Amino acid sequence: MSSLLQFTNKGIYCAKGEFYIDPWRPVKKALITHGHADHSRPGHRYYLAHPQSKHIMQQRLGHDIQIETIDYNNNISINGVKVSFHPAGHIPGSAQIRLEFNGKVAVVSGDYKLEDDGLSTPFESVKCHEFVTETTFGLPIYQWKPQNETFGEINTWWRKNKEEGKTSVIFAYALGKAQRIMKNVDTKIGEIYTHGAVENATEALRATGLDLPETIKITNDIPKKNYAGNLVIATPASIGTPWMKKLAPYSTGIASGWMMLRGTRRRKAADRGFVLSDHADWNGLLEAVKLSEAQTVYSTHGYSNVFTKYLKEEKGLNAIRLNSQIEGESLDSEL
């Protein structure tokens, strides 16, 4: 069977359906796995995404974009190719995109994680012949603890800071990670304040009907004393900027999978590092590949060389590495 997918300088292309998935250059028809900026880019003539991605995409790309939505597990036909979106568990609205034509099935998973985060629709494995997987954390050293343990650490840190009269400032992606934090921390400890970019993304998700705790957007007219003992969720770009002065005295923490690496927290000059990623760890990646039952696996963005080699040599799969302009998780971007 020939492949349903082609890998071009614009991104992943389905020639039978005449559409791209998460293309990084402008195209006529783009199917979007989720609303992060490296997956949903400007300039496409037509977008198809999950309803929970629509508001954030319009907020970022403009309300005049031509966007249609499709719910999970609904089937549509695009030029004879059967297409459906399935939960990826990465952030709200994130999807794996399943394609079927003449009995051949391919799944482009986008970004995903297998752990139920209590916020996103949980990951759903989809059987296929060809599976495109991310490998952001595709090394054996990356193995996550259950999130309840990590949130226990965050709550303990917050309580201690409150006792000391400090503001707890945690840095996280504005879309997905920030809402995961506010959804899972102990809100009995105090109030949650948000950076403007975090609040904008939160409002876009609330507009989809997502139930999130009350947050307070940080503005210049809020008295400095109000922040003491409370939690501030800010973007990584805020680290070390003058914006932080109004929050002093404070303790800082970073929520990211990269916090497993020694030196990363030190490089960012944070007081605490919390290992919390919206991407699958090593075991999660292997489990997703196994559950897909795919014999051909394409690895993209991240440690794709290592992961591809492992699938070939240890699992006997037809594993292929792809070049990509998708970033994955970075402490230096505002996805």
pLDDT tens for each residue of 80-116: 999 999 999 999 999 999 999 999 999 999 999 999 9
- Contact present, 28 and 13 (Cβ < 8 Å): no
pLDDT given at position 265: 63
pTM: 0.94
Give residue 249's identity as a one-letter amino acid code: P
213 Cβ neighbours under 8 A, 6+ residues apart: 182, 183, 187, 192
CA 315 to CA 80: how far, in whole Å? 33
Which domains are assigned to the chain? 6-142+278-321 (3.60.15.10), 147-274 (3.40.50.10890)
Quickly list H helices, the chain. Answer: 51-61, 147-163, 177-184, 196-206, 264-267, 282-292, 304-315
Which pLDDT band holds residue 263 (cuts at 50, 70, 90)? low
Peptide bond into 249 cis (omega under 30): yes
Query: Edge-to-edge strand order for the sheet containing 231-234?
Result: 216-217, 192-194, 231-234, 167-171, 250-255, 272-274
Residue from 206, 55, 33 nearest 194 by CA: 206
- Contact present, 215 and 193 (Cβ < 8 Å): yes
- Contact present, 93 and 72 (Cβ < 8 Å): no
Tally of CB atoms within 10 A around 261: 14
**pLDDT tens profile 13-67:** 999 999 999 999 999 999 999 999 999 999 999 999 999 999 999 999 999 999 9
pLDDT at residue 170 tops 80: yes
Burial tier of 330 (Cβ tally within 10 Å: 0-12, 13-18, 19+)? middle
Phi, psi (rounded to 5 degrees) for 58: -65, -40
Dihedral over Cα of 264, 268, 273, 277: its sign: negative
Tally of CB atoms within 10 A around 296: 17
Tally of CB atoms within 10 A around 203: 16
Which pLDDT band holds residue 323 (cuts at 50, 70, 90)? confident
Q: Element (H or E) spanning 131, and its range?
A: strand 130-135
Burial tier of 33 (Cβ tally within 10 Å: 0-12, 13-18, 19+)? buried
